[in-house]
Amino acid sequence: MNAFAERLLAWFDRHGRQDLPWQHPRTPYRVWVSEIMLQQTRVETVVPYFQRFMEQFPDVQSLAAAPQDAVLHQWSGLGYYARARNLHRAAQVVVEEHGGVFPAERAGLEQLPGIGRSTAAAIIAQAHDAPEAILDGNAKRVLARHAAIHGWPGSTAVQRELWAEAEARTPATRCADYTQAIMDLGALLCSRSRPACEACPVHVDCGAAQQGLTGTLPSPRPRRDLPTRTRWAACLRAPEGIALIQREQDGIWGGLYSLPEAETAEALEDWVLVQWPGATPAVVDHGLQHSFSHYRLDLRIRPFDLPAGACGIMEGNRVIWYKPGTSRAVGIPAPIQRYLHDDKDPGNGTNR
């Protein structure tokens, strides 16, 4: 075994994370769900979601048989909802085409929706203790520093270098532990800012440490300024609840239930008054600002009041009348969820 792996494993035995929820029991199903949840998401954020998810969907069969709304409901607030939709589809493929048994090789896993190279490798290494190199955000940071690789790790050229480093260092034995170890090193010691180099087991031959580059590696993502998109939404208030409409599967918040939207205030009001001629617009609009990774959303919300029974006009499984606590289990975007529970405050409200 190479010196890097040996030092890392020795450190892991004393200081590694051995009691994460998906490690006990460490089944392919539980490892898979955890890996999908952990994509672009911190461990501390995932833990409560993982535990609730496992209570409702303890095995791949129960997940495959569940309605999509139930899956998205469990996923609400985690973000990147394509992960949940893909997870659900993949469960159905595993049940229907693989007899409920996960592929035990990387290539087989990569055929499932939502599983790329690194996630497939992580599942193989952790669930089967078989040698596969991973390259998640932690490994990228550790390797970029230790091998002193310049350039943004997201670029194709740098990724190729990093994969080569990852493969060269992955040992043939203790694969599950090594995989966990390099992620733990990245998360616990080799953090983005203020890495604890004095406690690092591979500090002696770390390129970044020797060259004084721990503060500059890995290189940051190229800058890009966020555009702002302004949209209008209706908060239709009926005695039965507030109208939420299911969004298209593609695009932001795909498959979730949210306030009906339009490009302009005029288009929104026209649509509302066609559906509900008795709707009464409120005097004061509400406002909601939310920023995504690639744009800033300025959502202007116009409340309308509806008489009792008006909700019957627009029925169907793509509409719910939301009331906290009593509503059907569907996915709701986090900022909309907050708005619905905080309806009194107009936010950046504008008079008109």
Partner DNA sequence: AAGTCGGGGAT
Partner DNA sequence: ATCCCAGACTT
Stretch that binds DNA, among 3-11, 54-62, 163-171, 330-338 (CB under 7 A): 330-338
What's the closest the beta carbon of residue 339 comes to DNA, in angstroms? 11
What's the closest the beta carbon of residue 78 comes to DNA, in angstroms? 6
Which positions from 183 to 202 touch DNA by CB under 7 A, shown as an x/- string? xx-xx---xxxx--------
Torsion of CA 69, 73, 79, 82, to 10 degrees: -20
Binding flag, residue 252, DNA (CB under 7 A):
yes
Stretch 259-288 residues interacting with DNA (CB under 7 A): none
What's the closest the beta carbon of residue 173 comes to DNA, in angstroms? 20
Instruction: Give the one residue of 334, 346, 347, 349 binding DNA; rule: CB under 7 A.
Output: 334
Stretch that binds DNA, among 53-61, 182-190, 204-212, 300-308 (CB under 7 A): 182-190
Residue with tokens 């909601």: 288
Write the secondary structure of the chain as one string of H (helix), E (strand) and C (coil).
CCHHHHHHHHHHHHHCCCCCHHHCCCCHHHHHHHHHHHCCCCHHHHHHHHHHHHHHCCCHHHHHHCCHHHHHHHHCCCCCCHHHHHHHHHHHHHHHHCCCCCCCCHHHHHCCCCCCHHHHHHHHHHHHCCCCCCCCHHHHHHHHHHCCCCCCCCCHHHHHHHHHHHHHHCCCCCHHHHHHHHHHHHHHHCCCCCCCHHHCCCHHHCHHHHHCCCCCCCCCCCCCCCCEEEEEEEEEEECCEEEEEECCCCCCCCCCEECCEECCHHHHHHHHHHHCCCCEECCECEEEEEECCCCEEEEEEEEEECCCCHHHHCCCCCEEEECCCCCCCCCCCHHHHHHHCCCCCCCCCCEC
Render the burial of 43-59: b for 16+ CB within 10 Å, e for the rest.
beebeebbeebbeebee
To the query of whether residue 263 is one of the catalytic residues in this protein, the response is no
Residue 3, C-beta contacts closer than 8 angstroms, at least 6 positions apart = 205
Stretch 118-137 residues interacting with DNA (CB under 7 A): 118-120, 122, 136-137
Letter for the amino acid at 329?
A
Cα 146 to Cα 166: distance, rounded to the nearest angstrom: 11
Binding flag, residue 180, DNA (CB under 7 A):
yes
Which positions from 48 to 87 touch DNA by CB under 7 A, shown as an x/- string? -----------------------------xxxxxx---x-
Which lies closer to DNA via its Cβ, residue 87 or residue 310?
Answer: 87
Binding flag, residue 138, DNA (CB under 7 A):
yes
What's the closest the beta carbon of residue 136 comes to DNA, in angstroms? 3
Instruction: Give the one residue of 100, 254, 287, 349 binding DNA; rule: CB under 7 A.
Output: 254
Total binding residues for DNA by CB under 7 A?
63
Binding flag, residue 39, DNA (CB under 7 A):
yes
What's the closest the beta carbon of residue 1 comes to DNA, in angstroms? 22
Stretch 209-228 residues interacting with DNA (CB under 7 A): 220-221, 223-224, 226
What's the closest the beta carbon of residue 284 comes to DNA, in angstroms? 24
What's the closest the beta carbon of residue 269 comes to DNA, in angstroms? 25
Stretch 157-176 residues interacting with DNA (CB under 7 A): 157
Identify the active-site residue in 6, 35, 110, 167.
35
Binding flag, residue 20, DNA (CB under 7 A):
yes
- Give the active site residues: 35
Which residues contribute to the site for DNA (CB under 7 A)?
A: 17, 20, 34-35, 38-45, 77-82, 86, 113-120, 122, 136-138, 140-141, 155-157, 180, 183-184, 186-187, 191-194, 220-221, 223-224, 226, 250-254, 290-294, 333-335
